[in-house]
Structure 1
């Protein structure tokens, strides 16, 4: 009994995702239920979901990008999304997300698989390790995770390994 009360109190105080308040975020024909404390910001025709702090040292706030047909069309060096390349919509140098610098870093594909993206939809999931300083060892790097729903022309790009994002996308509701 005491253990149960202590565990319940601990979960309430830590804001366990299972008990956290949520809010809907709708984009390109689907709705996600995200923690209520997360914020959204329009970026052209795309939507950035901000999940935490905005550090002056980072190139972007912690969070992820919800992209539609335009983001898919210009996802790889100004060309269409390619599953064999990380998401990099501009041509030229790569921006190192956590270190706010430009570099010609290299990316290594870690894994590719199918992932649920709501009822009846599958996304191609690809995870990349992006090195901020090319082939040098012991340098800043980050993980880029990409979910791509080809039939809907939707792409989700996460540079921060957002906890629980795969589960949130798996529960998306399509119109």
Structure 2
């Protein structure tokens, strides 16, 4: 009995089997293994993966967008995605993601690199710091991370710095 309790306590403290539960998410020819508690919602022809809470103060729930050819085609103010610009499909002013009472403003590129997106595929990764309410960075700001697989016309947009997302995308399985 003592051994069973000790083993159960060890699993709870180490976070092993329960936290390792995953489910597949398939989109545009690839499959990701994501934590089982994440929810997947269809958004037009794209998918929104919801990873956490939905706050009434935020413009969107915590999570990220899996976008295909349509998202790439209209990713820059109604024009095709441009790696030198943040993802901004709207031609107008957009709400600040973490604090929708403000508007998104200036974006500053933090870094750009090439990273694995599954076996044999590469994505261009770009991270942006986006200010809210004009240039007043101290009012509100957020980070936009974009993975773009040009050959497959796939884009992943994360406004919440989703923990482990880069590793999950790196293990994508392509058909």
TM-score (norm 2): 0.91
Matches within 5 A, 1:54-73: 54-73=54-73
Report how many aligned residue pairs link the two structures: 170
CA RMSD of the aligned region, Å? 2.0
Structure 2 match to 1:105:
105
Structure 1: which 4+ aligned runs deviate by more than 3 Å?
4-9
Q: Give SS of 1:71's match.
A: helix
- Aligned-pair CA distance for 1:156: 0.1
Cα distance in 1 for partners of 2:24, 2:137 equals 42
Matches within 5 A, 1:77-88: 77-88=77-88
- Aligned-pair CA distance for 1:133: 1.7
Q: Deviations over 1:90-130 (max 9, x none)?
A: 10212200001352510000000001000000000000000
Cα distance in 1 for partners of 2:17, 2:99 equals 29
Structure 1: segments with no counterpart, 5+ residues: none
Q: Give SS of 1:10's match.
A: helix
Do 2:38 and 2:49's aligned partners in 1 also have CA atoms closer than 8 Å? yes
TM-score (norm 1): 0.91
Q: Give SS of 2:76's match.
A: coil
Residues 85/44 of structure 1: CA separation in 2 closer, same or farther (3 Å cut): same
Do 1:59 and 1:100's aligned partners in 2 also have CA atoms closer than 8 Å? yes
Structure 2 match to 1:37:
37
Matches within 5 A, 1:26-175: 26-101=26-101, 103=103, 105-175=105-175
